[in-house]
Amino acid sequence: MQTDLRGRDLISTQDWTREEIETLLDVARDLKRRRALGEPHALLRDKVLMLLFFFSSTRTRASFEAGIAQLGGHGEFIESSTTQISHGDTAREIGEILGRYGDGIAIRQCDWGVGNQYIRDVAEASRVPILNMQCELYHPFQILADLLTIQEKKGPDLRGRKIAVSWAYASSYQKPISVPQSLILLMTRFGMDVTLAHPPEYSLVPEIVEQAHTNANQHGGSLEIVHDMDAAFTNADVVYPKSWGCMLTTSDHEESRKIGEKYSDWICDERRMALAAEDAIYMHCLPADRGIEVTDAVLDGPQSVVYDEAENRLHVQKAAMALTMR
């Protein structure tokens, strides 16, 4: 178990070794158990986490704020539009200054081609750990919560288990590609057989797909890419269908909308769930476009684990804070 994580940033799960991630999951399970028993666990008394959001959030904000409070510290919510960032505060200034006020900085910045670099620039200037609450490339805490959830449902050894990471249609907006990218990176490191399904226009960043192949080769998993949702679902132990934008094909919103409409039959419904293994679980990071991306019968049905997934955000984030901010 690698425990020397004090001061470490968590921007992508690729920044941490598999052994370090296993430490985080171990601590998350312990903190989950302690909360269930009502055992105090104020491991970060008087510590402050700065929470800087450039985008809206339900789960991420609520779980980080609850988590730091349960650890005995304080979460300071900062919405970028209420700051002087638009008047000139640079990433370096944010890192230097917020790093002197607090003990950790968590950031959500999903602008295409901007977010990840911004978070890394803040990290470069900051004396405290930086936690990525989602950028345009990665959503590490979502995927750590997903991994914890899969292990709870399917057991700790995931080798030989099939996960279908599939694109699904949504009409609400061009959702980031950070969730599927983070899924293929992490699940291949834990030996899963990953089938990534998407229409041709919805490809992911080639370097990240290549890294996922490397992860699979190193850890005994596999990565297959198909353009057929049914093929991905067939015999899967875990299905994770969600929408994402065709950012690598076009930046034009009208063109994106038209491309998406060609694939409006890419929905997760009961027929598709029946293609998966009998005991398959349905996962989604939420929010979902109900009736478009997934039917109510699936999202609210017996195979859905979306609320356990959302709960596990709390536990993995508390583990990351306790390990890096102490």
Binding positions for ligand CP, rule: CB under 6 A: 57-60, 134, 142, 285-286
Distances (CA, A) of 106 to 22, 62, 199: 21, 13, 33
* Closer to ligand CP by Cβ: residue 143 or 322: 143
* Closer to ligand CP by Cβ: residue 126 or 142: 142
Shortest reach from residue 60's CB to ligand CP, in Å: 3
Shortest reach from residue 57's CB to ligand CP, in Å: 3
Shortest reach from residue 49's CB to ligand CP, in Å: 15
From CA 12, how far away is CA 28, in angstroms rounded? Answer: 18
From CA 89, how far away is CA 31, in angstroms rounded? Answer: 37
Dihedral angle over CA of 281, 288, 62, 120, nearest 10: 90
Token pair for residue 180? 């599927």
Dihedral angle over CA of 278, 25, 138, 160, nearest 10: -40
* Closer to ligand CP by Cβ: residue 57 or 303: 57
* Closer to ligand CP by Cβ: residue 43 or 165: 165
Shortest reach from residue 77's CB to ligand CP, in Å: 13
Shortest reach from residue 274's CB to ligand CP, in Å: 27
The residue of the chain with the least Cβ separation from ligand CP equals 60
From CA 167, how far away is CA 138, in angstroms rounded? Answer: 16
Q: Is 74 helix (H, G, I), strand (E, B) or coil?
A: strand
* Closer to ligand CP by Cβ: residue 99 or 115: 115
